[in-house]
């Protein structure tokens, strides 16, 4: 009994109805990244699943927690389809810095073994809805006292070391709100990465908007960053200007030139971008852009758009699962052919793969190729 790829795609788009979700396991509400989600360990993989937004009430999937077995029973239209488990609260969450800040306000556990942090929890674009990304909730967790505004390099190094030693985390993902500086966050990320690498041997992905100068890619690499994420989210100017008007002032042409240079620094696959399917770009537009990115060595991490509470798009419809499945079915083989599948990456969201079913489509294609090779050898 295990989810198939179609069911996994539907679950990541529609979410799971779960009345008592917050009482068990690790959850994320508000903030940047995969928020309003819960990490669920299915039979096939660990995934970050929407459980807290309004749209999950219409989902065909629901969950029940069996307290006797500590299993999570997953139902599709009342049919039991999988028995999952939850990611437990990590040990480092119980610790505090010397000045009394809980470690979980500095960095959080994503999936089952990924440490993630938003170094700057504020963004120059956020507080003005004429410039903010309409889907983003980066400052909501700050308003609700779930984090701090600026995580210092020393704090990040301390928490990362503890997370590795106590909970065996395998990588660190550092993102940031965009500051006023033209480096667009690269400087603070480089400073943070250097401190972490001096404290513990841990692969790091840094995420920011393309900086104004390409020299920042070398600076990030020299500081200890292993992989880079520069997230366009939407792939057309039409959608970018409507949904993320401030960020759209950094042109798609600049994104593409930044990708090309960054691939030379970090290597194919170790540069990636989030593409949020469901914002308004068409299936054809998403596939077209993804193919261009794969050709130059960038991993297009296509993720179902999930509406988040407290944002202007909180009532937006979820992405069409059928469209998502067609996109993933086309991109999976291309990633394998280009040799930049998630398992070969050094760090980052694409390596983790918990926020999108894309990894499972890529893995199936890889398995198919291995079977064909075995059949040829045995002939």
Q: Is 14 left (phi over 0), alpha (psi -120 to 50) or beta?
A: alpha
Residue 368 has pLDDT above 70, yes or no: no
More confident residue, 378 or 92: 92
Nearest to 317 by CA among 30, 56, 76, 138: 56
What does the DSSP assignment read for 297-343?
TEEEEEEE----TTSTTTTPPPP-HHHHHHHHHHHHHHHHHHT--GG
Element holding 279 (H helix, E strand)? none
The pair of structure tokens assigned to 189 is 């990320």
Q: How far apart are the first and last CA of the chain?
A: 33
Span 330-346, mean pLDDT?
95
Task: Count other Cβ atoms within 10 Å, centred on residue 378.
Answer: 6
Most confident of 6-20, 278-292, 301-315, 351-365: 278-292
**Confidence band (pLDDT; 50, 70, 90) for 240?**
very high
> Among residues of the chain, what percentage have pLDDT more than 70?
91
**pLDDT for the residue numbered 376:** 42
What does the DSSP assignment read for 56-73?
GGG-SEEEEEETTTTEEE
How many CA atoms are closer than 13 Å to the CA of 237, on its beta-carbon side? 6
pLDDT digits (tens, 9 = 90+) for 277-286: 999 999 999 9
Residue 379 has pLDDT above 60, yes or no: no
Residue 313 has pLDDT above 60, yes or no: yes
**pLDDT for the residue numbered 137:** 87
Flag the least confident range among 37-41, 94-98, 252-256.
Answer: 37-41
**pLDDT for the residue numbered 373:** 42
pLDDT digits (tens, 9 = 90+) for 26-64: 555 555 555 578 889 998 789 999 988 888 999 999 999
Span 77-91, mean pLDDT?
92
Question: Residue 226 and residue 193: Cα distance in Å, rounded?
Answer: 10
61-66 and 46-50 beta bridge pairing: unpaired
Task: Count other Cβ atoms within 10 Å, centred on residue 357.
Answer: 29
Question: Residue 163 and residue 93: Cα distance in Å, rounded?
Answer: 9
More confident residue, 76 or 52: 76
More confident residue, 23 or 199: 199
The pair of structure tokens assigned to 342 is 């998630």
Domains annotated on the chain, with CATH: 5-86 (no CATH), 91-378 (3.20.20.70)
Residue 270 has pLDDT above 80, yes or no: yes
As a residue count, the chain comes to 379
Residue 136 has pLDDT above 80, yes or no: yes
Question: Residue 277 and residue 337: Cα distance in Å, rounded?
Answer: 23
Q: Is 228 left (phi over 0), alpha (psi -120 to 50) or beta?
A: beta
The pair of structure tokens assigned to 59 is 């989902």
Question: Residue 80 and residue 78: Cα distance in Å, rounded?
Answer: 6
**pLDDT for the residue numbered 69:** 85
Tracing tokens 């509470």 back to the chain, one arrives at: 309
Residues forming beta bridges with residue 71, ordered by sequence position:
66
Residue 369 has pLDDT above 50, yes or no: no
How many CA atoms are closer than 13 Å to the CA of 112, on its beta-carbon side? 10
What is the average pLDDT value for the chain, to the nearest integer?
Answer: 90
Element holding 354 (H helix, E strand)? none
**Confidence band (pLDDT; 50, 70, 90) for 275?**
very high
Question: Residue 173 and residue 254: Cα distance in Å, rounded?
Answer: 23
pLDDT digits (tens, 9 = 90+) for 148-190: 999 999 999 999 999 999 999 999 999 999 999 999 999 999 9
């Amino acid at each position: 009994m295990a989810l198939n790829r179609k069911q996994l795609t539907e679950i990541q788009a529609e979410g799971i109805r779960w009345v008592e979700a917050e009482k068990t396991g690790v959850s994320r509400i508000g903030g940047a990244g995969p928020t309003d989600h819960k990490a669920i360990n299915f039979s096939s993989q660990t995934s970050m699943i929407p459980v807290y937004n309004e749209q999950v009430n219409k989902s065909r999937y629901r969950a029940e927690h069996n307290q006797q077995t500590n299993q999570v029973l997953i139902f599709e239209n009342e049919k039991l389809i999988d028995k999952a488990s939850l990611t437990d609260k990590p040990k480092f969450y119980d610790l505090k810095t010397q000045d009394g800040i809980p470690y979980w306000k500095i960095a959080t556990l994503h999936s089952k073994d990924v440490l993630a942090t938003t170094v700057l929890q504020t963004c120059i674009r956020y507080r003005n809805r004429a410039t903010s990304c309409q889907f983003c909730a980066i400052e909501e967790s700050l308003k609700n006292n779930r984090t701090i505004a600026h995580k210092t390099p020393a704090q990040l190094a301390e928490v990362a070391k503890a997370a590795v030693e106590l909970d065996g985390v395998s990588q660190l993902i550092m993102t940031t709100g965009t500051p006023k500086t033209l480096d667009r966050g690269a400087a603070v990320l480089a400073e943070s990465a250097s401190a972490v690498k001096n404290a513990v041997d841990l692969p790091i992905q840094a995420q920011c908007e393309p900086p104004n100068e390409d020299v920042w890619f070398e600076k990030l690499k020299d500081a200890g960053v292993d992989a880079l994420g520069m997230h366009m989210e939407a792939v057309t100017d039409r959608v970018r200007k409507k949904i993320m008007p401030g960020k759209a002032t950094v042109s798609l042409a600049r994104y593409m030139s930044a990708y090309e240079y960054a691939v030379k620094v970090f290597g194919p696959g170790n540069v990636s971008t989030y593409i949020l399917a469901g914002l308004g770009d068409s299936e054809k537009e998403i596939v077209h852009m993804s193919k261009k990115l794969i050709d130059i060595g960038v991993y297009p991490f296509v993720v179902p758009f999930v509406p988040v509470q407290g944002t202007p798009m909180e009532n937006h419809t979820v992405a069409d699962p059928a469209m998502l499945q067609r996109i993933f079915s086309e991109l999976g083989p291309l990633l394998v052919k280009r040799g930049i599948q998630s398992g070969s990456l050094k760090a980052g969201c694409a390596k983790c793969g918990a926020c999108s079913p894309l990894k499972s489509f890529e893995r199936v294609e890889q398995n198919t190729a291995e079977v064909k090779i075995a059949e040829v050898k045995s002939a």
